[in-house]
Amino acid sequence: MKSNKKMLVLPGDGIGPEVMVQVRRVIDWFDRRRAVKFDIQEGLVGGASYDKYGSPLTDNTLADAMAADAVLFGAVGGPQYDTLPFDKRPEKAILGLRKELGLFANLRPALVFDALVDASSLKPDIVRGLDILILRELTGGIYFGEPRGIEKLPDGQRRGVNTQVYTTHEIQRIARVGFDLAKKRKNKVCSVEKANVMESGQLWREEVTAVHKAEYPKVELSHMYADNCAMQLVRNPKQFDVIVTDNLFGDILSDCAAMLTGSLGMLPSASLGAVDKQGRQHALYEPIHGSAPDIVGKNMANPIAQLLSFAMLLRYSFDLEDDAKLIESSVEKVLAGGMRTADIMQPGAARVSTVVMGDAILRELDKQAA
Ligand code: NAD
């Protein structure tokens, strides 16, 4: 079956372009070797776009993203842009894309490859075989709620205000994404909030429970307070399958879960929008790391997070589970063979560059597909 899905590739800044080159090699491999074809367009974003057009996200790039079936994003930012006004900063491009594409669901898998079990700061037994998914609501909650601001009080003090706010619609739609994801995994959802002290958390729990009862009774649902969840994540993370939570708690818990795996250079993410009446869904895939200015241009960056982001794109946007698995198992084999980029280096392993890691994964893809 031929597929000509439209993909917009935005490498961005710093190590973004370096790791994306390795992913483009894998995409070419898929074009040659598998029944998958992509229409690929590449554009500038972040600092690279600012340098050329004076804006981190141009209208044209945004229009291309809206027209694409999926966006594969690298990383943006760098010290040379740190003094720009906020609306010109590279990071503004991510916020703009999230907002305009309506990307309300952020998926952050935390998966521990056997070969990297010692990279975690937790004991091997706790993380071996770990495969959990944190689903974070991305466009609501306290980061966007009104009123917000810093005000001056009559007595001369200042007061900072942010507002945690969620509507039933926002809670229900993220809950549905969570239940749908769980159905393709181990069929378990843990919904996380602070219903004990926050009304928004109480509403969250009630709405998730109602969606579960009406639409997903066969999925196992549990509820947990966010503070307990943070503790359980480091005590016994394998008890979870899908964790669904709000923007603020998701921000914190997903970073905590990420570190169970030991390296930023290994971690992909996906951000999904609503499915429209034509069945189309905006989606953006990116590694969780930034532009890593300290190692840029040194051929040292680990390309695996970017490549696993592409695997997520195949799985969630193009429904190509076998192809996603092919990439993941190739990465696993290469790591098991002892190759490591500097960030995941271990005693006795072979330290390799970005390009050599790309070569090794391509060789493994050849082997697995033979
Ligand atoms: P960072 O993720 O860029 O780097 C943190 C550390 O991890 C660095 O030591 C870096 O060398 C290392 N690292 C990151 N990715 C790696 C990889 N693939 N392989 C090997 N090592 C890797 O975070 P930072 O230093 O806080 O931020 C640098 C810049 O990136 C800033 O301008 C920041 O705003 C931006 N940033 C962008 C995004 C994004 O584009 N989504 C995310 C986070 C930070």
Give the residue extent of every domain in the chain. 1-112+264-370, 131-260
- Give the pLDDT score at 1: 46
- Give the pLDDT score at 88: 96
Token digits of residue 183: 């159905």
- Give the pLDDT score at 264: 86
How does pLDDT run across 151-168, given as a tens digit for each residue? 999 999 999 999 999 999
Cβ of 291 below 6 Å from ligand 1 = yes
Q: Is the pLDDT of residue 35 over 90?
A: no
Spatial CA neighbour of 124 closest among 203, 205, 238: 238
pLDDT band at 262 (very low <50, low <70, confident <90, very high): confident
Computed over its alpha carbons, how large is the radius of gyration of the chain? Answer: 21
Q: Is the pLDDT of residue 28 over 80?
A: yes
Architecture of domain 1-112+264-370: 3-Layer(aba) Sandwich (3.40)
Residue 152, Ramachandran bin (φ over 0: left; ψ between -120 and 50: alpha; else beta):
beta
Same-fold call for 1-112+264-370 versus 131-260: yes
Atom of ligand 1 nearest to the CA of 301: 19
Cα angle, residue 240 at apex, residues 239 and 244 outer, rounded to 5°: 155
Question: What letter does residue 89 receive in the DSSP assignment?
Answer: S
Q: Which residues are known catalytic residues?
A: 143, 194, 227, 251, 255
Portion of the chain with pLDDT greater than 70, in percent: 99
- Mean pLDDT across the stretch 59-81? 97
Residue type, 300: M
| Superfamily of domain 131-260 in the CATH hierarchy | Isopropylmalate Dehydrogenase (3.40.718.10)
Nearest CA to ligand 1 atom 23: 290
Cβ of 266 below 6 Å from ligand 1 = no
From ligand 1's centre to the CA of 120, what distance in Å?
Answer: 19
- Mean pLDDT across the stretch 70-81? 98
How does pLDDT run across 122-153, given as a tens digit for each residue? 999 999 999 999 999 999 999 999 999 999 99
Q: Is the pLDDT of residue 23 over 80?
A: yes
Which residues are registered as beta bridge partners of 242? 133, 189
- Give the pLDDT score at 3: 54
- Rounded distance, CA 48 to CA 46, Å? 5
pLDDT band at 83 (very low <50, low <70, confident <90, very high): very high
Cβ of 11 below 6 Å from ligand 1 = no
How does pLDDT run across 214-253, given as a tens digit for each residue? 999 999 999 999 999 999 999 999 999 999 999 999 999 9
Distance, C-alpha 124 to centroid of its chain: 24
Atom of ligand 1 nearest to the CA of 78: 32
Cβ of 309 below 6 Å from ligand 1 = no
Burial letters 262-301, b for 16+ CB under 10 A, else e: bbbbbbbbbbbbeeeeeeebbbbbbbbbbbbeebbeeebb
How does pLDDT run across 183-208, given as a tens digit for each residue? 999 999 999 999 999 999 999 999 99
Mean pLDDT of the chain: 95
From ligand 1's centre to the CA of 71, what distance in Å?
Answer: 20
Q: For the chain, how many residues are written?
A: 370
